[in-house]
Amino acid sequence: MLPNIALDQLLLLDIETTPGAPAFERLPAEMQRLWLDKIAKTAPDSENEEEVYAGRAGIFAEFGKIVCITAGFFTLENNTYQLRLKSFYHDDEAVVLSSFLELIDKFYAKYPRFQFAGHNIKEFDIPFICRRSVIHQLSLPQPLQLHGFKPWEVPMLDTLQLWRFGDFKHYISLKLLSAVLGIPSSKDDIDGSMVGKVYWQDHDLERIAAYCQKDVIAVAQLLLRFKRMPLLKDNEYKIIK
């Protein structure tokens, strides 16, 4: 698979999101009303709309925020691919986004035809980044100016979409896809459902960043597997501070 994809022309990414406030009652009154209106249409009648906020607000760009973005890119050294990782995390979401958007500009200047790569980035990560950037009134780099694109023209390599093979109803988690393709997984300290608690209760951004980095490494391994290439060894990826 992917014979025409050059690994060093990819910018891998993953984001970690949390509810925008530590609890429903900490939201402004108008946002409380809007949350109740939104969730009433999707939550089962048996669920408490206020409790649902803690578990689900982080998946909606209107009610969540990004606390970490990890970017990764391949380099070719001594005929062997290696992966470089850089995480942006901060309490101020605008700082996270500005730093990442600046990285996109630099990558675009060097690789004008690059593609974003990740798992479910087409339906979650990229739209979330764009929406939150607009909310903060940040200028979107050219590669994120996606309006007007036909679906097949969007410059994204999404491992979820690759695994679908045209089946638009199918969903598979990054963890399951890695397992079925025989990619060893390290023991996760946390999972996605715990990010809100780790942020708002423990305020452990470095722990969240470490989890985010593991997801980007997993995506890199999937791409290598799809291309039937050797997987990365532990000494073949490096985290840039």
pLDDT given at position 43: 67
- The average pLDDT across 142-156 equals 83
Q: Is the pLDDT of residue 222 over 70?
A: yes
- Cα separation, 71 vs 14, in Å, equals 7
Q: Which two tokens stand for residue 113?
A: 């035809």
pLDDT given at position 45: 62
- Segment 99-137, tens digit of pLDDT: 999 999 999 999 999 999 999 999 999 999 999 999 999
pLDDT given at position 41: 76
- Cα separation, 22 vs 181, in Å, equals 37
Domains of the chain: 7-20+63-240 (3.30.420.10)
- Cα separation, 39 vs 35, in Å, equals 6
pLDDT given at position 168: 84
Is residue 163 within 8 Å of residue 177, measured between CB atoms?
A: yes
- Segment 157-192, tens digit of pLDDT: 999 999 999 898 899 999 999 999 999 876 677 888
Q: Of 91, 66, 82, 102, nearest to 212 (Cα)?
A: 66
pLDDT given at position 90: 97
Task: Using pLDDT thresholds of 50, 70 and 90, give the confidence band for residue 210.
Answer: very high
Higher pLDDT, 210 or 42: 210
pLDDT given at position 44: 62
- Segment 69-108, tens digit of pLDDT: 999 999 998 889 999 999 999 999 999 999 999 999 999 9
- Which helix or strand (DSSP H or E) is residue 196 part of? helix 195-197
Please give the model's pTM, rounded to 2 decimal places.
0.94
- Segment 9-59, tens digit of pLDDT: 999 999 999 999 999 999 999 999 999 998 887 766 656 777 899 999 999
pLDDT given at position 153: 74
For residue 61, count CB atoms less than 10 angstroms from its CB and return exposed for 0-12, middle for 13-18, buried for 19 or more: buried
pLDDT given at position 241: 82
